[in-house]
Amino acid sequence: MSYLGLVGLFGLIGLTGLLNKVHPSQSGGPIRLLGLLGFLGLAGFWIPNLGACGAFGAFGVWNHQNTSIARLAYLGWLGLIGVIQTISFYL
């Protein structure tokens, strides 16, 4: 179970969308704010289940104009592991 906290660090990929600015005419400005969820992945060092939910931060680069960065958004689906583990922990 300790690996779950490290899964959340994939959410920090979403911060690349904030660092590598896109052209203002590119749609999806609000979705790039999902990159801030990557900081939730840092909580994985203390709370692994919650930290894995931080992988959702990778969705912040979903429609980035650089296609190599945009492909990294698929790692955001790993956040579902954190949601499932969190639900199973409380049930």
Whole-Å CA distances, 82 to 16, 27, 78, 86: 22, 29, 7, 6
Residue 24, φ and ψ in degrees, nearest 5: -60, -25
Q: In this predicted structure, what is the pLDDT of residue 51?
A: 81
Q: In this predicted structure, what is the pLDDT of residue 5?
A: 74
Per-residue pLDDT band for 7 (boundaries 50, 70, 90) equals confident
Each residue's pLDDT tens digit, 26-59: 777 777 777 778 887 788 778 878 788 888 888 8
The model carries a pTM of: 0.78
- Domain segments of the chain as ranges: 3-79
Each residue's pLDDT tens digit, 55-89: 888 888 888 888 888 898 898 898 898 888 888 88
28 Rama class: left (phi>0) / alpha (psi -120 to 50) / beta: left
Q: In this predicted structure, what is the pLDDT of residue 6?
A: 80
Q: In this predicted structure, what is the pLDDT of residue 1?
A: 56
